[in-house]
Amino acid sequence: MKSIGNVNADGEFYVVTVCSRFDPTTIAPWRGDAPLTPNPHDVTLIDSRGQALKPSLAGQQTWNAAHGASALLLQPLRPAESYDATMVFDVPPGASSARVLVSSEGFPMPVLIGDESSLLHKKTYLAL
């Protein structure tokens, strides 16, 4: 969209919603029902030219004012719970083939085998 409320995009606003879910089949039965806080995540939109974009602060604030605050990707979850986190990106004119990369930050992610952020792991992009 070209605008959200009274805020105009420099190019076009892309509104992206990511669902975060705690799969109860991935834990041991004795773990219990206590909430688990996920590691910090970095969300980046990448266009066909390789330009990496972070969420737009002005677009996000206006979206939240109109639709309510979005869940944060740091929200604790109990087994089988889920939530949607919405992010707004201001994508410049001429961009195409946009995709989103959601990656974990901090240690020990770069050395965990199979983690999205590990050194030898191929990145998984979400096509828009």
pLDDT tens column, 24-74: 888 888 888 899 888 888 899 998 888 999 999 999 999 999 999 988 888
pLDDT tens column, 84-113: 999 999 999 888 889 999 887 777 777 777
Prediction pTM value: 0.85
Q: CB-based contacts of 55: which residues, under 8 Å, 6+ apart?
A: 43, 87, 88, 89
Cα–Cα nearest to 128, from 95, 85, 94? 95
Q: Does domain 3-127 have CATH number 2.60.40?
A: yes
More confident position, 125 or 11: 11
pLDDT of residue 111: 73
